[in-house]
Amino acid sequence: MEIVVLRVGHRPERDKRVSTHVCLVARAFGASGILIDREDKRLESKISDLVDKWGGEFWIRSGINWKREIKERKKKGWRIVHLTMYGINVDDVINEIRKYEKILVIVGSEKVPREIYDLADLNVAIGNQPHSEISALAILLDRIFSGEELKREFKNCKIRIIPSKRGKTVLRVDSLGEE
């Protein structure tokens, strides 16, 4: 399964922290990459630096045309899942979503254009109350992967956390991949 997140309505001047967290959750919870509708080279640089340090193959592109991206992916067989509190409860559609091979998950910032609701194959809610798009994305990805994404090891990392009951254990990995 391949999952890409599309962030629509990103406002670099207002959303830098929230959009950064959307990127972090997308990467940590199993997405392959993220697309941002408005150009933000600073965000791209920040996330690329993080991936270089913490590993994995996660990618980011900003300044994309969201409508063209959705339509092109649909033509290629991708399924479009729009996260919105107005959608169908995630538990009622998660088994259907798990059958998809390629998923574009749309996460809004400001009010998303009405057209997104019509272009989506599924409008999915993580509850029907106001909440954070960060938490909604985390819960959706966790439900898709049944928690297995939390056990993933990221290749080509320069730093790795060793889980411990107390304290902090951090391993630095050299350029040969040895600890």
Indicate if the pLDDT at residue 12 is higher than 50: yes
Region 93-107: what's the mean pLDDT?
97
Q: Classify domain 2-153 at the CATH superfamily level.
A: SPOUT methyltransferase, trefoil knot domain (3.40.1280.10)
Region 141-157: what's the mean pLDDT?
92
**DSSP states of the chain as a string?**
-EEEEEEES--HHHHHHHHHHHHHHHHHTT-SEEEESS--HHHHHHHHHHHHHH-S--EEEES--HHHHHHHHHHTT-EEEEEEEEEEEHHHHHHHHHT-SEEEEEEESSPPPHHHHHH-SEEEESSSS---HHHHHHHHHHHHHTTGGGG---TT-SEEEE--SSS-EEEE--TTS--
Confidence class for position 51, pLDDT limits 50, 70, 90:
very high
Q: State the pTM of this model.
A: 0.91
What's the rounded Cα separation, in Å, for the pair 104 and 175?
34
Residue 165 or 120, more confident: 120
Confidence class for position 53, pLDDT limits 50, 70, 90:
very high
Region 51-67: what's the mean pLDDT?
96
Q: What is the pLDDT of residue 20?
A: 94
Q: What is the pLDDT of residue 21?
A: 95
pLDDT over 70 percentage in the chain: 95
If one counts every other C-beta atom within 10 angstroms of the C-beta of residue 125, the result is: 21
Residue 97 or 163, more confident: 97
pLDDT over 90 percentage in the chain: 73
What's the rounded Cα separation, in Å, for the pair 179 and 173?
5
What's the rounded Cα separation, in Å, for the pair 89 and 82?
12
Confidence class for position 176, pLDDT limits 50, 70, 90:
very low
Indicate if the pLDDT at residue 1 is higher than 90: yes
Region 137-157: what's the mean pLDDT?
93
Confidence class for position 173, pLDDT limits 50, 70, 90:
confident
Indicate if the pLDDT at residue 174 is higher than 80: no
Q: For the chain, what are the domain ranges?
A: 2-153
